[in-house]
C-alpha cells in the first residue's frame, strides 16, 4: 500500500530581490520594497512530502532519519542566513518562494522519495513544487466579507427552504470568505518568479476583493442577480474573472479555493487545468506525521 507522509520543518532567513545587471531604478520598478538593502526576513515553514510502501513496522520511512536529513541538507544551512549568499544556486536565481522550494527539492531528492515540496513564506503566500523541471505553483490567500441569500427566483419560498434550508431566509446572511488563488507557470531562471507577485496580488484585489467586499452579492453584483451565490458558484465566478488577468501577467490560473466557513469550502480549477487533477490528489491516502 502506497502512502504519502509529510514532515514539517522551519527556518528563519532574510533575502533581497536585486539583479546587478539592472539599474537601481529598474530594480525598484520590478521588485518594489523587496529591492531595499540589506533585505528583509521571513519565518519560513517547510513541508516535505514523501511517498512509499509501508514496511513491516507500519512506516514509509523512519521519521527520525527524515528529520536529520532535512536538518543536514536544508534547515541547518538556511536558518538565520542571508539566502542570497547561503547557497550557490542563489547566485544565479533570486531566492523567491518558488525558487527556494525548487532548490530545496533538488537538495533533498538524492536522499528522500519526494513527491512535493511546499514552502510558506508567510501564511498568505506559499509555493508548491513537484519536481517538474522549472514548473511550480504559487498561492496567495486573502479574504472578503459579503452577504448572500440562497434562493431561486422561479421557486416559492417554501420550495427554496426545502433546498437551501436557513440559507433561503429573505434577508440573507453573511460570511467572512477566505480565498486562495493558485497560479502555475515556469520559474524564470533569473528572477526566480512564475509571475510578478505584485501584479498577481493586484489582479486578485482589483477583480475580486474590491468589488465583492462588503456587498450583498445577490443585489450588488449583477452576475448573482440571476445566479444563486452558493460557494460553488462564487468560486466559479472568481475563476472566470481571474482567467484573463492571470494570463496577462504570464501565468496560468490553476485553482481557486473558497472557504465559506470552517466547515464549508470548495475548489475549482482554471479552464486549462480542469482536465488535470493536482499531483498529490492522484496519489494514495495521506498520512501526516508530527
* Alpha carbon 58 to its chain's center: 31
Q: Are strands 2-15 and 286-288 parallel, antiparallel or unpaired?
A: parallel
Indicate which residue of 98, 121, 180, 260 is catalytic: 260
- Bridge partners, 265 (sequence order): 259
Q: Is 260 a catalytic residue?
A: yes
Q: What is the DSSP letter of 39?
A: -
- Bridge partners, 6 (sequence order): 49, 288
Q: Is 34 a catalytic residue?
A: no
Indicate which residue of 3, 161, 167, 266 is catalytic: 167
194: nearest Cα among 106, 142, 125: 125
Are the C-beta atoms of 49 and 288 separated by less than 8 Å? no
Q: Is 92 a catalytic residue?
A: no
Are the C-beta atoms of 98 and 138 separated by less than 8 Å? yes
Distance CA 284, CA 114 (A): 14
Distance CA 120, CA 51 (A): 21
Are the C-beta atoms of 3 and 52 separated by less than 8 Å? yes
User: Could you tell me the three cell numbers for 49?
Assistant: 512530502
Indicate which residue of 29, 214, 274, 284 is catalytic: 214
Which residues belong to the active site? 167, 214, 260
Amino acid at each position: 500500500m502506497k502512502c504519502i507522509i509529510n514532515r514539517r520543518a522551519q527556518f528563519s532567513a532574510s533575502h533581497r530581490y536585486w539583479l546587478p545587471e539592472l539599474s537601481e531604478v529598474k530594480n525598484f520598478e520590478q521588485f518594489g520594497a523587496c529591492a531595499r538593502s540589506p533585505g528583509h526576513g521571513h519565518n519560513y515553514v517547510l513541508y516535505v512530502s514523501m511517498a512509499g510502501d509501508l514496511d513491516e513496522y507500519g512506516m514509509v520511512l523512519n521519521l527520525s532519519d527524515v528529520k536529520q536529513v532535512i536538518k543536514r541538507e536544508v534547515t541547518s544551512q538556511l536558518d538565520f542566513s542571508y539566502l542570497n549568499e547561503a547557497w550557490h544556486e542563489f547566485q544565479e536565481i533570486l531566492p523567491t518562494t518558488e525558487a527556494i522550494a525548487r532548490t530545496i527539492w533538488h537538495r533533498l531528492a538524492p536522499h528522500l522519495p519526494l513527491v512535493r515540496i511546499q514552502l510558506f513564506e508567510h501564511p498568505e503566500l506559499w509555493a508548491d513544487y513537484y519536481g517538474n523541471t522549472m514548473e511550480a505553483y504559487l498561492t496567495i490567500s486573502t479574504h472578503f466579507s459579503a452577504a448572500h441569500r440562497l434562493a431561486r427566483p422561479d421557486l416559492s419560498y417554501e420550495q427554496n427552504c426545502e433546498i437551501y434550508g436557513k440559507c433561503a431566509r429573505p434577508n440573507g446572511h453573511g460570511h467572512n470568505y477566505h480565498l486562495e488563488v493558485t497560479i502555475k507557470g515556469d520559474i524564470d531562471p533569473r528572477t526566480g518568479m512564475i509571475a510578478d507577485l505584485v501584479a498577481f496580488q493586484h489582479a486578485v484585489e482589483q477583480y475580486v476583493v474590491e468589488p465583492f467586499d462588503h456587498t450583498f452579492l445577490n443585489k450588488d453584483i449583477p452576475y448573482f442577480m440571476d445566479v444563486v451565490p452558493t460557494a460553488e458558484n462564487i468560486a466559479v465566478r472568481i475563476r472566470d474573472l481571474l482567467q484573463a488577468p492571470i494570463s496577462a501577467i504570464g501565468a496560468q490560473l490553476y485553482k481557486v479555493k473558497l472557504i465559506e466557513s470552517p466547515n464549508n469550502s470548495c475548489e475549482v480549477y482554471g479552464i486549462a487545468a480542469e482536465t488535470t487533477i493536482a499531483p498529490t490528489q492522484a496519489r494514495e491516502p495521506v498520512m501526516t506525521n508530527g
